[in-house]
Structure formats: C-alpha cells, structure tokens
Structure 1
Amino acid sequence: MTTTVRAPELPTAVRDVVDGLAALPGVRSVRIAGSRARGRPTGPDSDWDVLVYADGVPPRAQLRRLAGAGPGDPFDVETANGGHPFEETEFSVPASPRIDVCLRPLAHLTQERARAARGAFALYAYPKTAGGVPSYLLLAEAALSAPVAGDVEAPGCPGVLVDAAVPWWRGRASCALLLALDHLRAGERVGALEHVLAAAASVAHARLIGRGDWYPITKRFLDEAAALPPPARERLAGLSPAGLTEAEVRGLAGDLGVEVEDGLDWLARGEHLGPGGAGGG
C-alpha cells in the first residue's frame, strides 16, 4: 500500500532541491514531510521539510552543492545516530523559507516494516522528544509524507502492531505512576513529576496508535485530538512539583484510565524491555 498524501505545490527553490536530490545516486524517493505535508504549516514562513530515502548516503560533496555550503559552514551536511534505526543525514538550504533536508537509509525503513508486521517495536531515545519514540514512527514518517520524486512503500498500520502496542503503552503508564508514588514517598517531588509526565505521554501513545492509524510526533504531540482525556489534560496543566501528592497521582491514574498497581505485573513480565520482553524483536 502506497501513501495517499497529496504533495503541496512546491515553490521554485524547493523544486530545485527536490530535483537535485532525485538525481543523486542511490536515492529512491524524495518526499515532503512535516507540517507542509499535513497541510498545516505554522505560518507562511514555516520551513519546508524534505525527506529522502536512499540506498546509502550520496557523496557529501554533491549534498554540499545542493546546500550551497562548504566544510564548517553552519548549513553543512551532518550525520547523526549512525547505525541507529533513526539514523539521519541532514542539511539545510538557506532559502526563505528555509529548506531542511533529512536523508534516511531505506534499509532501516524496510527492517522496521518487517518488525511491525510481527507486532514488535522498540522505544528509542531521540533528541526531538523528551520521552523517546517508538521505532514504528519510522513507518509513520514515511506514510505521512508526500512523494514528489520516486516512491517507497508506505504501509498501513498493521493490526497486530496495534494489538501489541496499546497494552504495552498502558502498562508503561501504570509503571510510571507507580514510580511517581515511590518518588513522592522518598520526598523526590521533581522526580515524581517526571514519571507523571511519562505516564501521560504513554497513554497518549496508546490512544493514538489504538486508532489503527499512523500519527506524527510534532511539537503539538499531546495536543493531537483525543491524545489525552480532557480531565487528564486539565489536571496535568495544574500540576507542579510542590503541589504533587499521592492523591493527585491516583486521581490522574483515574483520569487516564489506568491502574497504578498494574505496573507491577508489567515489570514482572519484563515488558520494560519491549513488547514480549524481547526489546522489540
């Protein structure tokens, strides 16, 4: 199943970058991602996010020519997370609005597709989110972007993945609230609040993947429709370390629809290692 996201009209500067990327060796697909692909740019000056899938990183000299940059330039080509599923080679083109380019190895997308088809995933640290991201967001990223040159298969969300992910996230939320209570009893209110917020993010992941649709990680992640029950959002907005109590934590558990004590079973099953206790397969 291929993506059905429709590409927006591209300004000349963006089209030139897209055409240049598509002509590079090993590039299989060039896509528009982010708020522009979703049709909800934050404003007329919102950056253009260009996502590229390639068999390997094209020669840096060729990428630098597209960026108009040289070594040491603030817009120079950089590779992060080497060998990691979220490996990315990035650079920016100083047009107006700016054009941000992210190249991903196609092999990682293929591997994640196979893992999701087994109902498996892993949670990874990622600098753009405080609580980490599930590996299946690589698939969501592809499915929610619009091809403008070439294409790669962007699969639908497998039912087996939904069945595995929802209880895992809810168990993680229960465990986080259990740890919040432990921190409160130890007098560590800031640490308790950290776990409370982790619980909220986990429930948001469970509710969003539970729809059976892909969803993006954005700056508005917790503001996505139905990501959290309204009572939970209201309670979270009023929380502070100084005012956090066991009653508030248990009240939030009720708002989120999770049982705190279920966190013990989640830990006992080794689910903190990943669904099935195997680190995501």
Structure 2
Amino acid sequence: MSTAELKAPELPPAVRDVVDGLAALPTVRSVRVAGSRARGKPTSPDSDWDILAYTDTLPDRDELRRLLPPGAGTGNRSEPHTANPGHPFQETEFTVPVAPRIDVCLRPLAHLRQEEDRAARGLFTVHSYPKTAGGVPSYILLSEAALSAPVHGDVGTVACPEALVAAAVPWWRGRASCALLLAIDHVTAGEPLGALEHVLAAATSVAHARLISRGRWYPITKRLLGEAGALDDRARERLAELPAGRLTEAVVRQAADDLGVDVDDGLGWLAAGEHMGPGHRT
C-alpha cells in the first residue's frame, strides 16, 4: 500500500536548477524534497533545503560537480563525497553553497528496495549515528522516502508494514527499560551526567516505539520527542530540574573551550566519515 504523496513546495530558482540538473542525469530515477521543507515546517526562512535523488547507480562525481556554482566543490562540503561508509544507507552527498544552503543526498535505489523487503519481514537494524541521539533505525530509508515530496519521478513509497510494527514496538520499549536501569546505575555511582544521557536515550526509544505503533514513519527531526508525545509537561520539568538539563549553547561552548575542542570542526568530521572509526574514510 502506498502512502499519500506530499506536495512539493515552491522551489526557489537555485533549488530548481539543482533539482533539474539531477533529474537530467541518466541514472537518476526520482528527485524529492526532504526534511522540514517537505513537511511545510521549516524552522526559519533560512532553513536548509534537503534534496534526495534515487539512482540506479551513483553518478560520476564529475557529473555532480557540474551542478555546483563556479569555484565550489574543492576542499569543502561542496565536494561530492561518500557519507556513512559501512552503513546500509551509504550515500553520496554534497552541499551547494548558496543561501539558504542546499544539501543533496544521492541514494542507490537498490538499498531502498532491500530495506523494504526487510521491513516487510519485521527486520531492521539500529546504527550508531551522530546526528541522532540513540542511533538511527535502518528503516529510516523508508521513512525519508515516505516523508519527502516528489519533484521528478517516483519511488513508490510504502506504509509501515504490520510485521515491522509488531517487531519494532517491543524492541524500542525494551531498549528504553535497559537505558533506565543504566541511568539508575549512574545515579548510584554519583554520575548525574551519565544518568541524564541514559534517561534521554530511554525517552528517545519511547518516541520511536510510539511513532511506529501508530504506523508512522520516523523522521530525522529535532522535534522527535514532541511529535511522538514521549514526554508530557511534568516529565520535561523533571528533566529540566537535573543539573545537565540546564545546559545552554553558551555552557556547551564553554565546555568545548575547557576541553580544547572546536565545536565547528564537527561538520568536517562528519563529512569525512570519522564517526565510523579510522580506516572508513573515503
């Protein structure tokens, strides 16, 4: 059963140029707008544009460089590169340095079909992924396709299979229970920061369980807990009363200074595939 297609938002000229350029590549089967722009909920007028392209085979990098403005694509995130090496959702991505920024991700269509088959049998994998607390389930491939808006072509997005719902709900709830046990261990050991980490992992796991129990795909979003209703107002107040719950960006940046770490180096670290460990860079 197919999900209802989202309607693509009006595309600014720079985004339209990139979308049309991708659609013209011979191996590209579908181009879609993803993220908050597809859902009609950009966090600000300057929110990035996330563009997905599904391909039979990944295009040659020289073909992708032709979609960039003159002078872009050397020594920065505009250079087409492999992201998430070793993950089933390995991809080629690059950034078009305009305002608002355009992030382009190319995914092999075969990976999407493989995950469809696994989901229909109630199978999935949870991977460590630095952009999301607690990791990301492999059915994110199906989620992002279903929660994106087609501009060119189609990928035949599917609804949540009943087998996946039946398997995922108890798994996520079990993970939440385990995280809370670990939180208690950390409290007993006098480590409130470690305890908070596990409490938040539990809340994230409950959010996953609640969304999938409703047959709802999981979006990579900063509003996951709110969209899932995983925390009521009192629960949020309780977490805010914890010392780590009063963290601000200024406090985090001060901690980074204390540790001798440049927070802004994180983007380059992600782009290089460092989250997979030494030897996985491409």
Counterpart of 2:146 (choices 137, 143, 147) is 143
Gaps of 5+ in 2: 246-282
| Contact 1:5–1:146 (CA under 8 A) maintained in structure 2 | yes
| Contact 1:92–1:99 (CA under 8 A) maintained in structure 2 | yes
Partner of 1:129, secondary structure, is coil
Shift of 1:241: 5.9
- Specify the alignment match of 1:106 in structure 2: 109
Q: Which amino acid aligns with 1:125?
A: S
Cα shift readout 1:114-173 (whole Å, capped 9, x = no counterpart) = 111011111101121121011111111000001101110110011221111111111111
Counterpart of 1:76 (choices 75, 79, 92) is 79
Cα shift readout 1:62-93 (whole Å, capped 9, x = no counterpart) = 11110233432442112112241121211111
- Specify the alignment match of 2:211 in structure 1: 208
Distance 1:230 1:209 in 2: 22
| Contact 1:89–1:103 (CA under 8 A) maintained in structure 2 | yes
Distance 1:169 1:2 in 2: 24
* Residues 187 and 160 of structure 1, relative CA distance in 2, 3 Å threshold: same
| Contact 2:210–2:228 (CA under 8 A) maintained in structure 1 | no
Q: Is it true that 1:90 corresponds to 2:93 in the alignment?
A: yes
- Specify the alignment match of 1:253 in structure 2: none
- Specify the alignment match of 1:17 in structure 2: 18
| Contact 2:6–2:148 (CA under 8 A) maintained in structure 1 | yes
Q: Is it true that 1:162 corresponds to 2:159 in the alignment?
A: no
Gaps of 5+ in 1: 243-281
Partner of 2:82, secondary structure, is strand
Distance 1:230 1:163 in 2: 29
- Specify the alignment match of 1:274 in structure 2: none
- Specify the alignment match of 1:186 in structure 2: 189
| Contact 2:8–2:150 (CA under 8 A) maintained in structure 1 | yes
Distance 1:218 1:6 in 2: 19
Distance 1:53 1:232 in 2: 40
- Specify the alignment match of 2:238 in structure 1: 235
* Residues 241 and 22 of structure 1, relative CA distance in 2, 3 Å threshold: closer
Which range moved further: 231-240 or 208-217?
Answer: 231-240
Partner of 1:182, secondary structure, is helix
* Residues 19 and 183 of structure 1, relative CA distance in 2, 3 Å threshold: same
| Contact 2:48–2:103 (CA under 8 A) maintained in structure 1 | yes
- Specify the alignment match of 1:250 in structure 2: none
Which range moved further: 105-114 or 189-198?
Answer: 189-198
Q: Which amino acid aligns with 2:19?
A: V
Partner of 1:154, secondary structure, is coil
TM-score (norm 2): 0.80
Distance 2:19 2:171 in 1: 39
TM-score (norm 1): 0.81
* Residues 149 and 241 of structure 1, relative CA distance in 2, 3 Å threshold: closer
- Match runs of 1:29-44 below 5 Å: 29-44=30-45
- Specify the alignment match of 1:218 in structure 2: 221
Shift of 1:179: 1.4
* Residues 74 and 137 of structure 1, relative CA distance in 2, 3 Å threshold: closer
Distance 1:234 1:194 in 2: 16
Cα shift readout 1:11-51 (whole Å, capped 9, x = no counterpart) = 22211111110111311110000111000112222211111
* Residues 74 and 206 of structure 1, relative CA distance in 2, 3 Å threshold: closer
How many residues are matched? 243
* Residues 3 and 107 of structure 1, relative CA distance in 2, 3 Å threshold: farther
Partner of 1:130, secondary structure, is coil
* Residues 171 and 74 of structure 1, relative CA distance in 2, 3 Å threshold: closer
- Specify the alignment match of 1:117 in structure 2: 120
Which range moved further: 165-174 or 176-185?
Answer: 176-185
| Contact 1:67–1:76 (CA under 8 A) maintained in structure 2 | no
Distance 1:228 1:161 in 2: 24
Partner of 1:131, secondary structure, is coil
Ranges of 4+ aligned residues in structure 1 off by more than 3 Å: none
Cα shift readout 1:211-231 (whole Å, capped 9, x = no counterpart) = 112131212222225233333
| Contact 2:225–2:231 (CA under 8 A) maintained in structure 1 | yes
- Specify the alignment match of 1:27 in structure 2: 28
- Specify the alignment match of 1:61 in structure 2: 62
